[in-house]
Amino acid sequence: MNTDLKDAFTRTKAVCDAIMVCPTADSIAEYTSHVVDFKKEVVQELQQYLLFPLITHLKSSKTENKHELQLKLVDSMRMVLEKVTVNSFEMCMKMEIGLLQIVFDHTKPGMIAEIPEELKYSVMQCLTVLLLNVDTKYREVMFKTHVPLLGKAVYVSVHIAKLEKLRALRLAAIHCVTAHTATHDQLTVDYHITDPVQEKLVVDMLSLILPGVLGALQDVATCHNNPGHALVVTAIDAMHRILCLAMNNKFMSENNMITVEDFVKMVKEKDNKEVSTPVDPKSLPVRSPEWFSVAGDKLLLITKSLVTLVTHEHFKVRKELAVYCARLLFECDIAMKTSVPPALNVLITLTKDEYPEVSEYCINAIKTYFDNATVDTRIKTLDSLCENFFVALNSLPRIMNNIDSNRKLSALNLVHGYLGVLIIESLPQRLTAALSSPARAHAAAAALLQAAALHADLHMLTQHASRDVLSPPPINSPWCKLRHLDLPVCEWRLQEVLQQLGRAEGAPLLLDHLLELFQQERQPEILYICNWMVTAALSESMVKRILREFIEEKVWYLPLEVGSDELPLTEQDTLDVTVYNPRAWDKDSVPDLYEGTVETRYTDISSQAPRGSRPRGACHSLRQAQRNMLLSCLLTEGLGAVAKRLGNNYQPFLLKTLCLVLERVGSKYEMLHLAGLKALHDIALACEHDSVADLIKCNADYITNQVTVRLKKAWNCQSALQILSVVMEYSDSSIINYLYGIVQDVLVQSCDKYYEKDLYAYLQVFLTFVDCIRKWYTIAQEAPKTCQENKPIDVMQELRVFVENREEAERLLNEEEFEKETGKNVEEMYKEDAKRKEEDVLDYDDTVKEEKTKPPQYVTVTVIILKRCLNYVSSSDRDNSILALSVLNRGLPILRSYENELLPLVHLSWAPLVNRFEAEPPVMMAAFELLVTMAELARDFIRARAVKDVLPHIYKYLGQSSRDSHLKDVGSWYRSSAAYSLQQAALRALPRLAAALALRDLPLQRAMDCVQPYLSKKQPKALQALAVQFFRSMLDYNYGATWYHLRTVCNNEVTLSPPADNRVHLLPVVGTPYHPTNKDYENNITLIFNHTVS
């Protein structure tokens, strides 16, 4: 005996004796401390001596029902077992039986004893360590001769994993199951037992307990109350370890030799077919083909139950499920043929998992399976997958109506995965043959239409207030709102499914059916499907066919407005519709007759000439208008998709479609405009242009020709104007020569009564042209300000200059002083002036005329446009009037440097402008803007008439509306009214008007009077801020008048002492503009003077 062994024996003898006599917590703690200190070699030699006291008291009378003491004993036993390899079979069996006796009770549910969870946990750990560290030869003996005992241990363990709540206990129980079935990670290499003899023994044992064990583990894995993901992962890991060992293909006995006994057996089975009895599975030979068949059917239920975990929130669970299915395919596909389809379904679904670790594993597993499969197996599998694909596709409508988004995503992942396998180029595409069946094609189309159901709501008909074609195109499709898919990832997956279908060899078959349905019923979902199929279509002929269908006139031009094809009845037609309706098909209420007479009308109706259809420009209902708008957006988006797919090959179709897309960009509907913008950018990219402007520039001659042709056709006038407005916004001055002729045509048609319904479009063209002129020739709305306007004001210096000037004037008026300075008297000076004037008259040559410079052509065209717009300022249509005012407001600054053209136009504009200040608020706001522009451009030219005709209206409105906005807080309805917006516009315009018109005296005083109420803190904050800004501007403009007015507003008795000055004698002033007596004005008065005068 070596020294270490002798020393260890000496140290532990006393404590082992103490435990043997009567175990206590202290003696066990001392025992544990010694074991921790010993080396493994020492513990290995002394294992029987160390374990004997512990084994003795596992179920002795001294420890019975003493759970704390039992827990310490079991923990101490586990510590010893972790350091040894058990080399005594007898001791191993005693420990196995003793530990099982602690947790086993056949009278309790699940045969689990009612002991603390901690003790159960410790027993499970100890049993696991015992089976892992027992000598290999003894483990084989146990599997050969003690199968019932092992089965009992497995039974107790799986029921603890199934019924208990403590997470650590359940995990330890599952590890105990794998240890007792030799499938534990420490006993296998790559999931396999390396020793063939031991493997066969384990398989023999598992064949007896397989369904029960897997059923319990399946319950653990699919339990909804599992604490965390680790338990599910461990349960699935144990399941595929046990399943793929027991049901491995290599254990199936193959009998290729047919004997006479086989024929006799077959004949007997045929004779007894009608009187055959059900086969008892227990009577079947273990691992016979019949046994594998029955076991496979039972295990199919377990595999199907695990399929629900494909949507588990944790990726490790999905990864372990993928391992389960992959191992089943690779190792058990023959023994468990019925489980192959659901296993493939899971792998195919998880190929689209968001975690690359999961998706890549599944992709590689499917590829490996098909690469290693025989030709016959591959064909059968593809046939099965094709059938399953249509089953999954047909189930989409039912699943899409569910509220579970994860389930929807899983279903779409499954369909996408099926397509990924079915259209692999190296494999024969079974999908083509399946889609050749009309019934299959119809079912597939119906399922896709339900999955892609779109929602067309009222926002589809929204008209934009201002349009900017230079803004970037939308990244997504705001007009497409899928009814059933509420997650973006679900929508992306559906789009990928449609792209996969587009890549399929049988895509034209499905497309034929879809287009046939579209001809029968205009469903927007069909266009949605076609658009996404086009983006990945392999066949260019299919793409071109879709393009031709899209641009058919009856498809492209759909009515977008709700209207009636019949005018309303007037008094000339009938006085009472209930008595007589001249348009009714029949009438039965003729007055003054005893019996009602029924008259059927045949006027303009016959079998040869049926009732005429509703005009194309009107929809029957609002719902139809929304649906048509959605169709129009999808058609427009489809052109962009086709262009991206064809690339440079789209060039032959450019002349057919470019103007169609430009129409959409110029549409007054927001969604249609955005769809056109997106398609236009896609076309420019496909045709390899740097920008949309470059695309239009290269096709300018064609576009202008199209606009000219369309303008000559009344029914195409609207589209021509839309195209023209878009082209002008995208172009530069190089295209202006093309535009002059077109604008002249528009000017001619805009005064034609026949084209009055398109007046808004004409005005839109004028506005666009004016904006383009300003952009191309860099014309600002306001004239650049000089530095003189921002010169600081020194009141005392101004006063000194005033006094000096007055003294100088008095001195010059003194005649004696004047004669002394000049040396001449007044009479002599008068004669000299008269003589000089006479000489100037004689020298004047009246034959010389100042040569007028001809203004540029763009100025001339602008003048003509503005004169035409003057006719529509007073239009009864609000939108037309506002747009006409906007054209004048934007166009007049172009004439800033051309006074001879500007002033006559301002004069002509005055009368219609003044009338607009009595119109509704939106029109008045546009009129305010135009008035400010005219004042800044014409100034003195309109001062007198502005003071007389316009400013009184503004003063009166601001005075009245100040009472309406009083005490209107943030939550008031008044804040969202047109009157409130008009107040803001007036307050914003008034300081610019005062400065531009150089208001003095009474007009300036009235302007400040009408703004004064808005200094009250009881007015809305926005109006207070505008009032403060007004008085700040007035201080800059006329400091003295504004100072005096604010002094009267404050109305205080504060004395303001003047600064000392030797040249000017100043008196104190009673009353200052800094301290108002009305506390409502206090804060805003302070803000006015905190502003540094600039």
Q: Is the dihedral of CA 37, 39, 43, 45 positive or negative?
A: negative
Contact indicator for 333, 374 with CB cutoff of 8 Å: no
Contact indicator for 470, 729 with CB cutoff of 8 Å: yes
Check whether 743 has a pLDDT greater than 80.
Answer: no
**Model pLDDT, residue 630:** 92
Check whether 466 has a pLDDT greater than 70.
Answer: no
**Model pLDDT, residue 602:** 42
**Model pLDDT, residue 294:** 82
pLDDT tens for each residue of 703-740: 888 887 776 665 556 777 788 778 878 877 777 777 77
**Model pLDDT, residue 606:** 43
Beta-carbon contacts of residue 699 (< 8 Å; ≥ 6 apart): 654, 655, 658
Tokens 């086989």 belong to 262
Q: Nearest CA to 444 among 425, 469, 463, 418?
A: 418
Strands of 223-285, DSSP E: none
d(CA 1025, CA 1022): 5
pLDDT tens for each residue of 919-965: 888 899 999 899 999 999 998 899 999 999 999 988 998 999 999 88
Check whether 1004 has a pLDDT greater than 50.
Answer: yes
**Backbone φ, ψ for residue 919 (5° rounding):** -90, -170
Quote the crossing angle between the two packed helices 488-503 and 405-422, to the nearest 10°.
20
Token representation of residue 274: 């009608």
Mean confidence (pLDDT) of the chain: 82
d(CA 526, CA 496): 16
pLDDT tens for each residue of 376-407: 888 888 888 888 888 889 999 999 988 888 88
pLDDT tens for each residue of 82-111: 988 988 899 999 999 999 999 988 888 778
**Model pLDDT, residue 8:** 80
Check whether 174 has a pLDDT greater than 90.
Answer: yes
Neighbour count for residue 664 (Cβ, 10 Å): 29
pLDDT tens for each residue of 814-860: 666 666 666 666 667 777 777 777 776 666 555 555 566 788 888 88
Beta-carbon contacts of residue 568 (< 8 Å; ≥ 6 apart): none
Check whether 634 has a pLDDT greater than 90.
Answer: yes
What whole-number percentage of the chain has pLDDT above 70?
A: 84
**Model pLDDT, residue 734:** 74
**Model pLDDT, residue 460:** 80
Write out the H or E segment, with its range, that includes residue 948: none
Check whether 319 has a pLDDT greater than 80.
Answer: yes
Contact indicator for 124, 173 with CB cutoff of 8 Å: yes
pLDDT tens for each residue of 562-586: 775 555 666 666 666 666 666 565 5
Q: Report the largest interatomic distance among the alpha carbons of the chain, rounded to a whole angstrom.
A: 162
Give the DSSP letter string of 1033-1079: HHHHH-HHHHHHHHHHHH----EEPPPP-SS-----EE--SSS-SSG
Contact indicator for 484, 400 with CB cutoff of 8 Å: yes
Torsion angle, CA of 228/230/233/236, rounded to 10 degrees?
Answer: -90
Quote the crossing angle between the two packed helices 815-822 and 795-813, to the nearest 10°.
80
Token representation of residue 919: 């119109």
d(CA 923, CA 990): 17
d(CA 681, CA 665): 11
3-state secondary structure of 586: strand
Higher pLDDT among residues 15 and 154, named by residue: 154
Report in angstroms the alpha-carbon separations of 238 from 111, 161, 924.
22, 12, 80
pLDDT tens for each residue of 963-979: 988 888 777 888 888 88
Quote the crossing angle between the two packed helices 978-996 and 1021-1037, to the nearest 10°.
10
Check whether 682 has a pLDDT greater than 90.
Answer: yes
d(CA 156, CA 112): 7
Question: Would you say the pTM of this structure is higher than 0.85?
Answer: no
Structural domain boundaries of the chain?
247-253+284-372, 383-560+616-698
Confidence band of 596 (pLDDT split at 50, 70, 90): very low
Give the mean model confidence (pLDDT) for residues 857-882.
Answer: 89
Q: Nearest CA to 333 among 250, 215, 438, 212?
A: 250
**Model pLDDT, residue 1073:** 85
d(CA 922, CA 981): 9
pLDDT tens for each residue of 605-621: 444 444 444 445 577 78
**Model pLDDT, residue 252:** 72
Tokens 């005064």 belong to 751
Contact indicator for 378, 428 with CB cutoff of 8 Å: no
pLDDT tens for each residue of 532-564: 999 888 888 889 999 999 999 889 988 888 775
Q: Nearest CA to 45 among 92, 89, 80?
A: 80
Check whether 1063 has a pLDDT greater than 60.
Answer: yes
Report in angstroms the alpha-carbon separations of 803 from 39, 806, 1037, 1039, 1059.
114, 5, 22, 18, 16
- Compute the C-alpha angle 644/650/656, nearest 5°: 120
**Model pLDDT, residue 1016:** 92
**Model pLDDT, residue 527:** 93
Check whether 599 has a pLDDT greater than 70.
Answer: no
Contact indicator for 557, 615 with CB cutoff of 8 Å: no
Check whether 139 has a pLDDT greater than 80.
Answer: yes
Contact indicator for 1049, 1076 with CB cutoff of 8 Å: yes
Looking at this protein, which amino acid is placed at residue 95?
M
Q: Give the CA count within 13 Å in the CB-facing half-sphere of 1047.
A: 15
Mean pLDDT is lowest, of 320-334, 411-425, 599-613, for 599-613
d(CA 232, CA 532): 39
Q: Give the CA count within 13 Å in the CB-facing half-sphere of 14.
A: 7
pLDDT tens for each residue of 1017-1037: 999 999 999 999 999 999 888
**Backbone φ, ψ for residue 932 (5° rounding):** -60, -40
Q: Residue 519 burial by CB count (10 A; 0-12/13-18/19+): exposed, middle or buried?
A: exposed
**Model pLDDT, residue 604:** 44
Give the mean model confidence (pLDDT) for residues 883-903.
Answer: 91
Under CATH, which number does the domain 383-560+616-698 receive?
Answer: 1.25.10
Give the DSSP letter string of 955-996: HHHHHHHHHHSTT--TT-GGGGSHHHHHHHHHHHHHHHHHHH
Give the mean model confidence (pLDDT) for residues 230-244.
Answer: 92
Gyration radius (Cα) of the chain, Å? 48
Beta-carbon contacts of residue 1021 (< 8 Å; ≥ 6 apart): none
pLDDT tens for each residue of 348-357: 888 888 899 9
**Model pLDDT, residue 173:** 93
Q: Nearest CA to 68 among 31, 16, 118?
A: 118
Check whether 530 has a pLDDT greater than 90.
Answer: yes
Looking at this protein, which amino acid is placed at residue 1035?
L
**Model pLDDT, residue 380:** 84
Contact indicator for 881, 919 with CB cutoff of 8 Å: yes
Alpha helices in 504-552, H assignment, sequence order: 507-520, 524-534, 540-550
